[in-house]
A and B are shown apart, each in its own frame.
Chain A
Amino acid sequence: MGIPIGKLKPKKVRKNIDLTLWERLYIFEIIRGMTVTTKHFMANLVGFVLHAKGKKRNIITVYYPEEKVELPPAYRGRPVLVMRENGKERCVACGLCEKICPASAISIIAEENENGDRYPASYLLDMSRCVFCGFCEEVCPKEAIVMSSEYEGLAKRDRNDLLCTKEMLLRTENSVKGRIEYIRRIYAKCNY
């Protein structure tokens, strides 16, 4: 295991301890630095400020409220509950998400309906505690809670507004379809 010390040939990165004459003269390196920045300046002036309308801007900044970043499928936004066709939640109030949540953000009160099926009478998700880790989605056996790609509307004036009830969390299945397919793929059997 491992290379015995002394056998390794490290790469020396420092060429000289003292300054060379070239480095001693400020001016040449300053000019070199300024050519770099001027090159960026000119490239951005042409490629970004004077860019043709409709063409893709050659800059990393995204004009946020008008434009949105392209989110990868893996993106974990706020957790939401998935709705069935009848408008009820998929959740069966098994409590696994409540148990696994490292921030104890979820609290569920389970009840049974007339058919004997369990459902969450109250499903509270405290968004001020949520750390967006995605464990709830990973342990959920019913694909009832998923990390959507929503990231807006999570800043509130009052902490109590961040306490989400079941109704605030419910989303139709179509709106989170991509995510459900994604989690089916990444937690598929072939990965084990």
Chain B
Amino acid sequence: MAANLIESIVKILFIFSVNIGFFSPILGWVERKQSALMQDRVGANRADVCGFTLIGLFHPIADAIKVLTKEDFIPEGADRLFHTIAPFISLTPAIITFAVIPFGGQYELFGHHVNLIIADLDVGILFVFAFASLASFGSVLAGWSSNNNWSFLGGLRASAQMLSYEVVMGLNIIGVIMVYGTLRLSQIGAMQADFFNWGIFLQPVGFVLFFTCAIAENKRAPFDVAEAESELVAGYFTEYSGMKFVMFWMGEFLEIVTIGALVTTMFFGAWHLPFVSDQMLLNYFRFAGPNGAASLAIVVNIITFFSKVIFFIWLQMTIRWTLPRFRYDQVMRLGWKMFLPIALINIFITGVVILAK
């Protein structure tokens, strides 16, 4: 019992430190630097401690100090309660969804069964969707409570866009669920031990659609109509400042990580290296004894998983800084008139193939 508790706490702390402590500050830096390199610029590199700039790595710290000392501004006529809780509603789902994403296999460590997932729910995917859809409340409430016409328009756009793309995203997942026959993400991951069993080979269309819809769900370019800065000033978070503004930001960045993790788990072999199963890993590390082998395998799993996640973060950033923005009606048309039929056809074809086997 105590061992289970310790295991859970260690995993939660690990995911928390990786997400909040590493990804969310570092992604701000990554976004700046990557966009800078793509655009022939230098990027932020001026914050220094004792003359060392560390290629701009102090900027997240400087930013944190800045936002913490900023005035927390609530506009006149705004709904104070909803204006305050909206950023929390936006941020929380992004953190919570990581609970059901596996970042490694299952091992015996010191006679204790270790499963590298915080909560191995049997409805893992549904849990992700349930919480992801909660995030839309954040933007709607933010837009509505700000008492600003631009925020209001942004909130409307955000709600319509997120609801539409959730439908398509859900339909995409059905293909994955049909192929693997389970909703449990750790099982989906485990079934991809064989390289040719990876989701990308079984569901290529599903991958493209899911990835696109996930970016749309996250409201990043090219789907950032809800916060389109040239049209709606800043969309639903026009009236936010300081820490609350950063919460929307952090929510967005954490969702990038979540999307990367989900795509990795469902389509890119989760924690598996190509052609290397967990058992083979344990065999490689036999020299370290059973416990040492398991620990090393866990480390390899985690590194593999997060390398893939980082690759998908890079991909999302590249997309974000390459493409222009859709128009609002075009986003809707794309979702309902193009992605929805394709998703349905994808389900149909998947079903036919499964039956034919």
Asked whether A59 lies within 8 Å of B322 as measured between CB atoms, the reply is: no
Asked whether A59 lies within 8 Å of B40 as measured between CB atoms, the reply is: yes
B300-342 near A? 1/0 per residue, CB < 8 Å: 0000000000000000001101110000000000000000000
Kindly report which residue of chain A lies nearest to residue B39, judged by CB atoms: A40
Count residues of A near B (Cβ-Cβ below 8 Å).
17
From the candidates B37, B39, B41, B319, name the one contacting A34 in the complex (CB within 8 A).
B319
Asked whether B318 lies within 8 Å of A45 as measured between CB atoms, the reply is: no
Asked whether A60 lies within 8 Å of B40 as measured between CB atoms, the reply is: yes
Kindly report which residue of chain A lies nearest to residue B338, judged by CB atoms: A26
Asked whether A33 lies within 8 Å of B323 as measured between CB atoms, the reply is: yes
Asked whether B37 lies within 8 Å of A40 as measured between CB atoms, the reply is: yes
Count residues of B near A (Cβ-Cβ below 8 Å).
14
Give A8 to B323 CA distance when docked, in angstroms: 38
Q: A61-B42, A63-B42 are in contact. Are A45 and B319 (CB under 8 A)?
A: no
Give A40 to B39 CA distance when docked, in angstroms: 7
B38 within 8 A of A: yes
Determine which residue in A30, A36, A41, A45 has the highest number of CB atoms from chain B within 10 A of its CB, and name it: A41
Give A36 to B322 CA distance when docked, in angstroms: 9
Q: Which A residues are CB-close (under 8 A) to B38?
A: 37-38, 40-41, 44
Kindly report which residue of chain B lies nearest to residue A36, judged by CB atoms: B322
B186 within 8 A of A: no
Give A27 to B41 CA distance when docked, in angstroms: 27
Q: Which A residues are CB-close (under 8 A) to B40?
A: 40, 44, 59-60
Asked whether B321 lies within 8 Å of A37 as measured between CB atoms, the reply is: yes
Q: Which B residues are CB-close (under 8 A) to A27?
A: 208
Q: Which A residues are CB-close (under 8 A) to B346?
A: none
Could you tell me the distance in whole angstroms from the C-beta of A64 to the nearest C-beta in chain B?
A: 10
From the candidates B42, B208, B318, name the one contacting A37 in the complex (CB within 8 A).
B318
Q: Which B residues are CB-close (under 8 A) to A33?
A: 322-323
Give A59 to B34 CA distance when docked, in angstroms: 15
A132 within 8 A of B: no
Asked whether B37 lies within 8 Å of A45 as measured between CB atoms, the reply is: yes
In the complex, 21 of the A-B residue pairs with CB atoms within 8 angstroms, ordered by the A residue number, are A30-B319, A33-B322, A34-B319, A34-B322, A36-B322, A37-B38, A37-B318, A37-B322, A38-B38, A38-B318, A40-B37, A40-B40, A44-B40, A48-B42, A49-B37, A49-B55, A59-B40, A59-B41, A59-B42, A61-B42, A63-B42
Interface residues of A (CB under 8 A from B): 27, 30, 33-34, 36-38, 40-41, 44-45, 48-49, 59-61, 63
Given A37-B318, A41-B318, 5 further pairs, Cβ under 8 A: A33-B322, A37-B321, A41-B34, A48-B42, A49-B37
> 6 tightest A-B contacts by CB?
A44-B37, A61-B42, A37-B38, A37-B322, A41-B38, A33-B322
